[in-house]
């Protein structure tokens, strides 16, 4: 049933097609469309169905049937062509809605409409065609409505995940929509894009969190953008300026005993794109300087060691004299690497140092493990976030954007060429953010030229001055071997004639590792009898070899006692003195033979490393006396 007409005739027009005065509205529905959250109505969809009759007429003059059919068909075809295109101007008046005028002036459809939905065609009597047309118009219903260049819908979700240590990860995801329709029915370009509104919904960084910008997906009609942004809670220590992420490791390890130590500090830096690796070197050296300064200030020679009640105390006087003095940290190894030349910029740095004279417990209690990171090496979230904020912002380093002129509407009409993003005018390539300024300034970082290697070697040299003589030892090992000459010799008499070997013994098996079975109540020996090596004839009596000589020993001289010392040593910056045995248990031995001692510089780093090797033999004589009691462990003056 048709809607009741108001006093004035209905006026309806879509594009160039003007509905006749006799046209009538057969259906009109208004459907509020809720947003994804169901909290508001961004727009309502007006669904209007109009029916009219098209028949031939030329100025009111009747025409021949054939011509009438041609005219009707042409009029219907023209109406269908116009009424099937979206985005044209629509006027609808005098039907209880006031003046509904769409896509002209300020009022425009907000979802690429008006959108024709159904066109019905029915022939009446061969010359008249009944045409039924349904169109949808999407517009907001408020008095202060905005129809373009604004957010039409914005909804998001928040999720919070906590790990076993209580660190939180927040995921912020959602979408935005904007209103848009064609500038005119034949226009193939876009006037707006949802990409232009990304910054409006991008939240500031959470203090203490690392931003992962995530994904941004632009819909096919360019009116919707879906986003996912993740914020991960960071540990209290933030990376240094110029670096995105850092992994660092600090290890103390013993080298031969619980009083000789090596300490290695290493770090791997993911450097901000476009930034200099000097940022990483500066941060590493600042961390190294702070931690090693804590070690020198906190650990003293002798900490954690109690040697006062031992027999070695008198022998270790050089060591004990340095108790409570600061340790010396001696650089023994360093490395700098670029882990992936063709990948993202990274720097991997490591320094190993040696020190001695501190016990195991003191290293745990007084070393720089678990101390705070200085500001120059990172640790301040605000400084780090201000520096990387652009990189972790909505556009990343490349600053890619989508502009409306990088797209066009393509269909089978109009022969429009496809447009692709990033080509020609309005390219998607934005200006990347400026790199952080090259680091400089005073202190140790401003003193060294020669590029990165000069900075690294020079700074380490300033951080670690040469050791003192007492703290310069890296390794010292001295072994004492005592051996004696009993003065007894073997005396063997010769037979009158050559000895004839026994054929049986020559074929016997000498199996010293085998236990032979018991035979006739007597256990057999693993060795053939020594007497059996000589053929003494039948029964072993007389025979051809009755004179085979004798084997005895004689004490020909007094017993003698020797001691041999062998060893190696490493020392930083100082020559290694030649060791000597002064006395053993009150006896003074005499150096004999060909003593061997050699030393050379085996490494030239910040401090020359000297190595020495030696081997001497001493004899205890009547003049020096013989030691009483067992020979003790040779003291070295350095804890091995």
The C-alpha atoms of residue 59 and residue 71 are separated, in whole angstroms, by: 13
Domain boundary among 107, 139, 171: 139
Q: For residues 135 and 72, state if they share a domain.
A: yes
The C-alpha atoms of residue 279 and residue 511 are separated, in whole angstroms, by: 72
Query: What is the residue-wise DSSP string for 519-564?
Result: ETTEEPPSS--GGGGB---GGGSSTT------EEEEE-S--EEEEE
Q: Is residue 429 part of a domain?
A: no
Q: For residues 193 and 253, state if they share a domain.
A: no
pLDDT digits (tens, 9 = 90+) for 284-340: 999 999 999 999 999 988 888 776 655 555 555 555 566 778 888 888 888 999 999
Whether the per-residue pLDDT at 521 is higher than 60: the answer is no
The C-alpha atoms of residue 120 and residue 132 are separated, in whole angstroms, by: 5
Is 0.95 topped by the overall pTM? no
- What proportions of the chain, in percent to the nearest 5, are helix, strand and coil? 15, 35, 50
Least confident of 81-85, 290-294, 599-603, 633-637: 633-637
Q: For residues 330 and 347, state if they share a domain.
A: yes
CB atoms within 10 A of CB 92: 25
Q: How far is CA 125 from CA 57, 66, 297, 561, in A?
A: 15, 13, 110, 142
Q: Residue with structure tokens 């001497």?
A: 616
Q: Is residue 428 part of a domain?
A: no
In total, how many domains does the chain have?
A: 5
Q: Is residue 390 part of a domain?
A: no
Q: Is residue 165 part of a domain?
A: yes
Q: For residues 335 and 312, state if they share a domain.
A: yes
| pLDDT for residue 523 | 54
Q: 604 or 22: which carries more pLDDT confidence?
A: 22
Q: Residue with structure tokens 């004589």?
A: 621
Whether the per-residue pLDDT at 279 is higher than 70: the answer is yes
Q: For residues 264 and 283, state if they share a domain.
A: yes
Least confident of 192-196, 496-500, 559-563, 609-613: 496-500
Q: For residues 165 and 113, state if they share a domain.
A: no
| Confidence at 3, pLDDT banded by 50, 70, 90 | very low
Q: Is residue 389 part of a domain?
A: no
Q: Is residue 105 part of a domain?
A: yes
| Confidence at 369, pLDDT banded by 50, 70, 90 | very high
Whether the per-residue pLDDT at 159 is higher than 50: the answer is yes
Q: Is residue 56 part of a domain?
A: yes
Q: For residues 63 and 164, state if they share a domain.
A: no
Q: For residues 528 and 450, state if they share a domain.
A: no
Q: What is the dihedral sign for C-alpha 142, 146, 151, 152?
A: positive
Q: For residues 158 and 135, state if they share a domain.
A: no
Q: For residues 377 and 276, state if they share a domain.
A: yes
**What range does the domain containing 569 cover?**
472-493+552-640
Q: For residues 450 and 481, state if they share a domain.
A: no
Q: For residues 562 and 600, state if they share a domain.
A: yes
């Amino acid at each position: 049933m048709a809607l009741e007409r108001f006093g004035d005739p209905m006026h309806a027009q879509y594009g160039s097609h003007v509905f006749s005065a006799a046209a009538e509205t057969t259906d009109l529905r208004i459907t509020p469309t809720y947003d994804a959250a169901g909290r508001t109505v961004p727009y309502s969809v007006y669904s209007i169905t109009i029916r009219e009759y098209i028949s031939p007429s030329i100025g009111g003059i009747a025409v021949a049937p054939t011509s009438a059919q041609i005219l009707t068909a042409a009029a219907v075809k023209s109406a269908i062509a116009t009424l099937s295109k979206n985005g044209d101007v629509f006027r609808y008046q005098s039907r209880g809605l006031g003046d509904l005028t769409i896509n002209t002036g300020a009022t425009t459809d907000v979802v690429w409409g008006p959108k024709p939905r159904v066109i019905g065609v029915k022939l009446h009597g061969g010359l008249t065609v009944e045409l039924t047309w349904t169109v949808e118009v999407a517009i907001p219903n408020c008095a202060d409505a905005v129809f373009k260049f604004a957010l039409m819908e914005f909804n998001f979700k928040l999720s919070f995940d906590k790990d076993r240590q209580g660190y939180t990860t927040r995921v912020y995801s959602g979408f935005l929509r904007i209103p848009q329709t064609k500038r005119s029915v034949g226009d193939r370009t876009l006037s707006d894009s949802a990409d232009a509104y990304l910054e409006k919904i991008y939240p500031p960084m959470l203090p203490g969190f690392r931003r992962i910008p995530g994904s941004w997906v632009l819909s096919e009609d360019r009116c919707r953008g879906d986003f996912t942004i993740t914020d991960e809670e960071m540990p209290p220590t933030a990376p240094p300026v110029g670096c995105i992420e850092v992994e660092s490791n600090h290890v103390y390890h013993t080298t031969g005993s619980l009083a000789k130590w090596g300490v290695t500090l290493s770090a791997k830096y993911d450097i901000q794109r476009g930034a200099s690796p000097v940022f990483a070197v500066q941060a590493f050296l600042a961390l190294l300087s702070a931690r090693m300064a804590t070690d020198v200030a906190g650990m003293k020679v002798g900490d954690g060691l109690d040697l006062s009640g031992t027999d070695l105390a008198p022998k270790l006087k050089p060591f004990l004299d340095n108790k409570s003095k600061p340790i010396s940290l001696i650089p023994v190894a360093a490395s700098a690497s670029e882990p992936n030349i063709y990948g993202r910029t990274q720097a991997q740095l490591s320094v190993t140092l040696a020190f001695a004279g501190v016990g195991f417990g003191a290293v745990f209690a007084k070393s720089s493990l678990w101390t705070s990171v200085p500001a120059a090496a990172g640790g301040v979230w605000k400084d780090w976030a201000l520096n990387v904020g652009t990189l972790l912002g909505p556009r990343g380093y490349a600053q890619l954007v989508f502009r409306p002129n990088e797209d066009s509407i393509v269909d089978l009409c109009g022969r429009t060429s496809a447009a692709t993003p990033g080509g020609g005018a309005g390219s998607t390539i934005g200006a990347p953010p400026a790199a952080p300024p090259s680091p400089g300034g005073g202190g140790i970082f401003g003193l060294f030229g020669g590029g990165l290697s000069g900075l690294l070697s020079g700074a380490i040299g300033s951080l670690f001055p040469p050791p003192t003589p007492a703290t310069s030892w890296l390794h010292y090992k001295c072994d004492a071997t005592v051996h004696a000459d009993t003065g007894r010799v073997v005396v063997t008499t010769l037979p009158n004639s050559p000895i004839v070997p026994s054929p049986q013994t020559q074929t016997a098996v000498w199996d010293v590792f085998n236990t032979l079975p018991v035979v006739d109540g007597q256990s057999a020996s693993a060795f053939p009898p020594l007497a059996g090596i000589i053929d003494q004839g039948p029964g072993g009596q007389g025979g051809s070899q009755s004179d085979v000589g004798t084997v005895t020993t004689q004490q020909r001289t007094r017993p003698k006692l020797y001691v041999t010392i062998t060893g190696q040593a490493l020392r930083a910056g100082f020559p290694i003195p030649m060791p000597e045995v002064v006395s053993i248990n009150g006896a003074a031995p005499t150096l004999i033979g060909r003593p061997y001692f050699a030393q050379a510089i085996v490494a030239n780093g910040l401090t020359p490393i000297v190595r020495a090797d030696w081997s001497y033999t001493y004899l205890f004589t009547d003049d020096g006396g013989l030691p009483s009691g067992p020979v003790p462990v040779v003291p070295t003056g350095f804890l091995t």
